[in-house]
Amino acid sequence: MKKSTSEKKSGMFRTGVNIPESSRAKMVNLLNSELADLISLHYATKQAHWNVKGAEFYQLHLLFDELADSVDGFIDSTAERITALGGTAEGTIEAACNNARMEAYPVGISTGREHLSALIQRYTDLANHTREAIDRSGELGDMDTADLFTEISRSLDKNLWFLEAHIQA
């Protein structure tokens, strides 16, 4: 009897993607780390959006919302890439909390400067992790995932620029 393409083999679903299963499994782990960080960053940015106070409230409130929307788009792309490779996207809040590499966002802050500093650190950390993931994807022969990571990296760097511009003078 022919196996269904939805059956799992060694923790991975069968797929026609011609990347060796061992490489796909490593890519799924790398992508799930990115997914956890993207979910964490999205909600950290929303936390800042909801709670920023001070003279720059309105412009930062709008900026933080735009940044959160930008990150949100990459959550879906990353999860879909995981499943396209035959893996399972670990996109629950619980999985993100357990697997995110960044520190928990401080909930007791309120000024624009405090939120900017907290977000700058998180965007910097994820951008650096993402650049490492670009290289790792290439080493594993998955240029499509490297391309996704490159797109995420460019966006994170642009968002970091927007954040850093508020504290540079």
In a domain? residue 153: yes
Alpha carbon distances (Å) from 93 to 9, 42, 43: 26, 11, 10
pLDDT top residue among 169 and 91: 91
Model confidence, pTM: 0.92
Examine the pLDDT at 58 and tell me if it is beyond 70: yes
In a domain? residue 156: yes
**Number of domains within the chain:** 1
Specify the CATH number for the domain of residue 80. 1.20.1260.10
Range of the domain at 119: 20-165
In angstroms, the CA 157 to CA 68 distance is: 14
In a domain? residue 65: yes
Residues in CB range of 150: below 8 A, 6 or more apart: 134
Q: Residue 8 has what pLDDT?
A: 47
Q: Which amino acid is at 97?
A: C
